[in-house]
Structure 1
Amino acid sequence: MFWPYDFTFRKIISVSKNALKINFEITSEKGMPYMLGYHPSFKLTGFDTEIIKTADKEITLKDILNVGSAAYKVLNTDEIILIKNELPNVKITTKNFNNFMLWTEVNNMVCIEPITQYPLLETQEYSEKNMRISNGKEYFYVTISTL
């Protein structure tokens, strides 16, 4: 397989009593365009009772389903809480992703995906104008913990 840039991608997973932490490290040539996303999914009750909460908004499963395959965008945030009727609730905290997208096509699971960039809304294309440009070494993390 051929890639136009040389890079190394490392993923380090650590587990503690109430949390899972995933560290990502990208070492590359300066100027390499990239997008990064992580795709955790969470089981739901299937009764549309869960709420996803950010610092300034509450999002229902119906809101996410109404968006369809494009995924519900949650921009400029590093933390989301999945509030479930059946405990435990789940908190997802990130560093350097800065965005999430929420996706599902069924009522018994949801993907809460940290992303660096949301694909262009009009065309869903992955063009360089919608990517980050590497400084040579980039660090990201996702922490999934119970509340």
Structure 2
Amino acid sequence: MVSLKNGSHSVLINQGELISYKENDYEFIHQKGSPGWGHSDTEMFPIIGPTEGAGYRVQVPKGNAIQDQHGLLRELVYTRDTADEKSASFSKEYKAGTVVENSKYPKKSRVPRLIWPFNFRFEKRFELLEDRLEISFIIRGDKDMPYMLGYHPAFQLRSASARVVSDNDSYSLEEVMSAGNKALQVANTDRLTLMDEREMEFATNGFGHFMLWSPVANMICVEPVTFYPYAVEQQFLHEGFMHLNEPRVEFSIALTPK
């Protein structure tokens, strides 16, 4: 467990997972054990979205890519690299062709093992500033590796009138829940605000889009993504890939409570 503190802001991180973000003792993060999702955050990499409809295969330029929903990164364990009072960093490394056991099998999946034909290193960095929490994701790997990236944090809701607001639109909790497991797409924006008893502003860099998902009225996931996976049929999921054409790429999100 890693604890960060800066003035009235505090953060708890458990093996790379953000499990608490408080400002003046007001908890913003969805707590495990509460109705809804069984996690508080995770990453979607190297693919976003379901793959069952494509036989769990994703088309890539080389090798065999067997991926379950949202990719295999979540099956790997974070290593803590650094930690001090106001920052911490974690990483996961994957060697091309390594077989990874699928924790969804057999209850929620028909494929027992996952595999990806590219090497990569994935870093997750937290920095707690005086007024916000910044989370960065750094990807290194084989040149031209295809990938998608999504960040999947969950937030507590305390009001039935909670809304998510963009520069051009507003989305009620009812609308988000009505979208079901496909999640509600918010395209072509790098900023959103969650309006509840307290507000949380989201400012991203590199992602370009958001998805909104909620299975219950007491939580919502505000997810920056590089690609909305339901824009295509599952067998064409590869159309959403970016490619690693630099030694490293970085994405970030700033969470600013109001």
Tell me the TM-score normalised to structure 1 length.
0.90
The structure-2 alpha-carbon separation of the partners of 1:34 and 1:108, relative to structure 1 and needing over 3 Å to count, comes to: same
Contact 1:119 1:126 in 2 (8 A): no
- The residue that corresponds to 2:190 in the other structure is 78
The structure-2 alpha-carbon separation of the partners of 1:23 and 1:126, relative to structure 1 and needing over 3 Å to count, comes to: farther
Offset at 1:122? 4.7
Offset at 1:129? 1.5
Give RMSD over aligned pairs. 1.5
Q: Matched residues in 2 for 1:124 and 1:53: separation?
A: 29
- The residue that corresponds to 1:20 in the other structure is 133
User: Per-residue CA shift, 1:25-75, capped at 9, x if unaligned?
Assistant: 111222111011111111112x42111000100100011111111000011
The answer to whether residue 251 in structure 2 is matched with residue 144 in structure 1 is: no
Q: 2:165 aligns with which of 53, 56, 69?
A: 53
Q: What letter is aligned with 1:118?
A: Y
- The residue that corresponds to 2:57 in the other structure is none
State the structure with bigger RCO (CA 8 A, min sep 6), 1 or 2.
1
Q: Matched residues in 1 for 2:135 and 2:154: separation?
A: 15
Give ranges in structure 2 of 5+ residues lacking alignment: 1-97, 100-115
Q: Matched residues in 2 for 1:53 and 1:28: separation?
A: 35
User: Per-residue CA shift, 1:65-105, capped at 9, x if unaligned?
Assistant: 11111000011100100111x22x10011000011100011
- The residue that corresponds to 1:131 in the other structure is 241
- The residue that corresponds to 2:215 in the other structure is 105
Q: Matched residues in 2 for 1:125 and 1:53: separation?
A: 32
Percent identity over the alignment?
33
Contact 1:120 1:130 in 2 (8 A): no
